[in-house]
Amino acid sequence: MPTLLIVHHTPSPSMQAMLEAVLAGARDEAIEGVEVVVRPALAATAVDVLAADGYLLGTPANIGYMSGALKHFFDQAYYPCLEATIGRPYALYVHGGSDTTGAVRSVETIATGLTWKRLREPVTVIGALDAKDREACWELGAATAASLMP
């Protein structure tokens, strides 16, 4: 069964709301035959990455960069997964107080180094979430999981 690994750093209510919407989409009953595995960024390992067929990453934008927790995840998984995960799909969601550009760029730079393929444009939210933002997160989760359906 294909596996979607969701790796997230969720330190705020906004990030929690985004994660919940992503999970609702990824676990929608219309998506069949895909296992969804969820790991906090500080707990996710190279073993998790190697066992998955696609990835959905969530991070706050912290001072123009991804969270330290997501960076730690990449630091420990990068070389063990470098050759084994070439071409796997990934997607990204980011929340920021004033800007998300640097956080998106930093994740995309590492994903490019891993030779992962971006599935769709990142979902980025600045400030408070609204219904449209939650819907975009739901769609991101659903589309990412559906892309792995057998």
The structural domains of the chain, ordered by start, are 3-147 (3.40.50.360)
Predicted pLDDT at 114: 98
Predicted pLDDT at 128: 96
Q: Within the chain, which residues score under 70 in pLDDT? A: none
Q: Are 26 and 144 in contact (CB under 8 A)?
A: yes
User: pTM for the full model?
Assistant: 0.97
Q: Are 20 and 103 in contact (CB under 8 A)?
A: no
- Vertex 74: Cα angle to 68 and 78 (nearest 5): 155
